């Protein structure tokens, strides 16, 4: 969509529609290993190829890993994190984050907010944080390990083959 010289990508439009008024800064990685970070405002950070390290900052960010074995850290507010392909390590921040593990063996960890974690196909390790979290698993016959850390409440929709452990960490 192009209007008045402004090009809005699909991801920018999604962030715009989901959050109201604020536009997001888009940061794009390369096909190589990148270290990418956000600014003080809303960010959409895309890692693309390579084994990327991506960090959100203060606002509500969309952090996307794409291919490669990525490490993604959410910022202070409510972030949306996508692992996609690769063996990713996805960490929510203190806000209410939504974390989507990818297709392979991923680590997805919530934090103190009320997080929603979606485990993808593959043998994932999910660490439920200290908030009121929701865990949703793809029923794929793989054995995910779900770690419940500390005292919290939440809901689980897990595959019957999943293993639930208490007080375990990354």
- For position 169, what pLDDT does the model report? 61
Query: Among candidates 57, 30, 32, which has minimal Cα distance to 44?
Result: 57
pLDDT in tens, 62-115: 999 989 999 999 989 999 999 988 899 999 999 999 999 988 889 999 888 889
Phi, psi torsion values for 81, nearest 5 degrees: -125, 130
3 state DSSP class of 85: coil
3 state DSSP class of 49: coil
Beta strands in 14-150 (DSSP E): 25-28, 35-37, 43-46, 53-55, 62-64, 71-73, 80-82, 89-91, 98-100, 107-109, 116-119, 125-128, 133-137, 145-148
pLDDT in tens, 4-35: 344 444 444 454 445 554 567 889 999 999 99
- For position 152, what pLDDT does the model report? 58
Least confident of 15-19, 59-63, 159-163: 15-19
Please tell me the pTM assigned to this model: 0.81
- For position 7, what pLDDT does the model report? 44
3 state DSSP class of 65: coil
Can you tell me the mean pLDDT for 121-128? Answer: 85
Question: What distance lies between CA 88 and its chain's CA centroid?
Answer: 10
Query: Among candidates 48, 37, 42, which has minimal Cα distance to 17?
Result: 42
């Amino acid at each position: 969509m192009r209007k008045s010289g402004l090009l809005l990508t699909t991801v920018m439009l999604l962030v715009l529609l989901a959050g109201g008024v604020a536009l997001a800064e888009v940061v794009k990685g390369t096909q190589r290993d990148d270290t990418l970070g956000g600014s003080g405002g809303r960010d959409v950070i895309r890692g693309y190829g390579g084994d990327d390290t991506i960090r959100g900052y203060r606002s509500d960010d969309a952090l996307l890993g794409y291919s490669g074995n990525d490490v993604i850290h959410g910022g202070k507010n409510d972030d949306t994190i996508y692992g996609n392909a690769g063996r990713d390590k996805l960490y929510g921040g203190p806000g209410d984050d939504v974390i989507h593990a990818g297709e392979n063996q991923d680590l997805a960890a919530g934090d103190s907010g009320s997080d929603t974690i979606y485990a993808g196909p593959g043998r994932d390790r999910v660490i439920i944080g200290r908030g009121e979290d929701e865990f949703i698993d793809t029923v794929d016959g793989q054995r995910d390990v779900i770690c419940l850390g500390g005292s919290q409440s939440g809901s689980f929709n897990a595959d019957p083959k999943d293993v639930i452990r208490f007080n375990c960490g990354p």
